[in-house]
Amino acid sequence: AQKITQTQPGMFVQEKEAVTLDCTYDTSDQSYGLFWYKQPSSGEMIFLIYQGSYDEQNATEGRYSLNFQKARKSANLVISASQLGDSAMYFCAMRDSPHPYDYKLSFGAGTTVTVRA
Amino acid sequence: DVKVTQSSRYLVKRTGEKVFLECVQDMDHENMFWYRQDPGLGLRLIYFSYDVKMKEKGDIPEGYSVSREKKERFSLILESASTNQTSMYLCASSLNFGDTYNEQFFGPGTRLTVL
């Protein structure tokens, strides 16, 4: 079963506007972590933001914030004041196996964001 | 800064060839991972390793093997390359943490084409 679902294959956003990227997850663990990565056209994966399942506050990192709704199992990424350099593919990922020696992440299919001037 | 390097950015091989993809990290990370990335499928884990000489299968290990003889180096081996292994291959590394935080640091990727 798919652990991470990103339903938006591609999105367009106007420069300086905010954009929300959807991510839903599936896990039966109580303890898990959610990550967002950015992949520009150069191909390198860049870590953006992390949310732990027990974190009471939504995570924020500069222009990135995570809208974490635990009951709905969603972890949407919000990019505020979009810039042309935000054009990239964005991946949601989860670690839901906090057991020794099991540090793998499950990734979604990704969402391509194109920022228009 | 953590640095993860991969031996090639682009590689073209023929069907049936043995292919080695090398990954090196310089931050003394215990964990190393190999993913392949295909359009519409995201990143899928092939193998990972949490220590030298240790390896664990990921979601799609068939047709691949790995080797980790030194802590900093993790190799992905395609014993007999096939056209359906044409893909982008990404290597990553991370520290061992006891909780759920486990940021992975990625290399630049190798785009492999099998003809």
Question: Within 10 Å of residue A52's Cβ, how many Cβ atoms?
Answer: 16
Closest Cα in chain A to B3: A44
Q: How confident is the model at residue A96 (pLDDT cuts 50, 70, 90)?
A: confident
Q: What is the pLDDT of residue B100?
A: 65
Nearest to A4 by CA among A28, A34, A31: A34
Q: Give per-residue pLDDT as tens, A10-28.
A: 999 999 999 999 999 999 8
User: How far is A102 from B85, CA to CA, in rounded Å?
Assistant: 26
Chain B positions in Cβ-Cβ contact with residue A95 (cut-off 8 Å)? 100, 102
Q: What is the pLDDT of residue A65?
A: 97
User: How far is B108 from B96, CA to CA, in rounded Å?
Assistant: 22
Could you tell me if A113 and A90 are in contact, meaning their C-beta atoms sit under 8 angstroms apart?
A: yes
Specify the 3-state DSSP secondary structure of A108. coil
Q: Indicate the residue of A42, A103, A107 with minimum beta-carbon distance to B31.
A: A103
User: How far is A74 from A78, CA to CA, in rounded Å?
Assistant: 12
Q: Indicate the residue of B42, B54, B94 with minimum beta-carbon distance to A91.
A: B42
Contact B42 A108 (CB under 8 A): yes
What are the residues whose beta carbons fall under 8 Å from the beta carbon of B5, sequence distance 6 or more?
A: B23, B24, B25, B107, B108
Chain B positions in Cβ-Cβ contact with residue A96 (cut-off 8 Å)? 100
Q: What is the pLDDT of residue A29?
A: 86
- What is the distance in angstroms between the Cα of A117 and the nearest Cα belonging to chain B? 26
Averages of pLDDT over runs of 10 residues in chain B (115 residues) are 88 97 94 94 93 92 97 97 97 80 89 97
User: How far is A98 from A104, CA to CA, in rounded Å?
Assistant: 9
Percent above pLDDT 70 for chain A:
93
What are the residues whose beta carbons fall under 8 Å from the beta carbon of B108, sequence distance 6 or more?
A: A42, A43, A44, B5, B6, B9
Q: Does A99 touch chain B (CB under 8 A)?
A: no
Nearest to A64 by CA among A52, A53, A75: A75
Contact A98 B99 (CB under 8 A): yes
The answer to whether residue A76 scores a pLDDT higher than 70 is: yes
Among A41-45, A68-72, B110-114, the least confident range: A41-45
